[in-house]
C-alpha cells in the first residue's frame, strides 16, 4: 500500500498520513479539537538533529495512531507559535493534554525513550 503525500499548500497538511503540519493559524485549533493527547515536534529543515528525530516521530505517530495525535511546527515559518511555547532549542517535542502543555523533551531521543517519556508503552 503506497502512502500519498499531501502538498505544502493544502489545508491541514499531513506527512506520511499520520503527522499534521501545523502553522500559527492552525495550531490552536488542532490542539483544542483533538480527542487524543497531541505530541508536537518543533523543528526546522536546516536542523540536523531535527532530521534525525523526524522519522522517529513519524514511526510513533503510525504505531500509536489510536492513542495520540502528532503534529509538526516549522519554527522558521511559524515563529509566533514557537515563541508562545518558549522554544529555544530544536528539536523540541511537547505533549499536550486537554489543550495544555504537560511535558517537554528537547533533543534527539530513541523511539523507545520517547514512547516511555510520553507514556505510550
Q: What is the CATH number of the domain that holds 51?
A: 3.40.30.10
Name the grid cell of 38: 497531541
Domain residues for the domain of 113 are: 14-117
Residue 64 lies in a domain: yes
Q: In what order do the strands lie in the sheet with 100-106?
A: 14-15, 19-22, 69-74, 38-43, 92-97, 100-106
Residue 113 lies in a domain: yes
- Residue 102: what are its φ and ψ, rounded to 5°? -120, -15
Residue 8 lies in a domain: no
Residue 7 lies in a domain: no
- Sorting pLDDT into bands at 50, 70 and 90, what band is 4? very low
Mean pLDDT of the chain: 88
Residue 30 lies in a domain: yes
Torsion 113-108-100-40 (CA) sign? negative
- Sorting pLDDT into bands at 50, 70 and 90, what band is 113? very high
| Range scoring the smallest mean pLDDT among 6-15, 41-50, 75-84 | 6-15
Active site residues: 47, 50
Residue 5 lies in a domain: no
- Split into its structural domains, the chain has a count of 1
Amino acid at each position: 500500500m503506497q502512502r500519498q503525500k499531501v502538498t505544502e499548500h493544502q489545508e491541514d497538511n499531513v506527512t506520511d498520513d499520520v503527522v499534521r503540519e501545523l502553522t500559527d493559524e492552525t495550531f490552536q485549533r488542532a490542539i483544542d479539537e483533538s480527542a487524543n493527547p497531541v505530541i508536537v515536534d518543533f523543528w526546522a529543515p536546516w536542523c540536523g538533529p531535527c532530521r534525525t528525530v523526524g522519522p522517529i516521530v513519524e514511526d510513533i505517530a503510525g504505531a500509536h495512531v489510536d492513542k495520540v495525535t502528532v503534529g509538526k511546527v516549522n519554527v522558521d515559518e511559524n515563529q509566533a507559535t514557537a515563541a508562545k511555547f518558549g522554544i529555544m532549542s530544536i528539536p523540541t517535542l511537547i505533549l499536550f493534554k486537554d489543550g495544555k502543555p504537560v511535558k517537554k523533551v528537547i533533543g534527539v531521543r530513541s523511539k523507545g525513550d520517547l514512547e516511555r517519556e510520553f507514556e505510550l508503552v
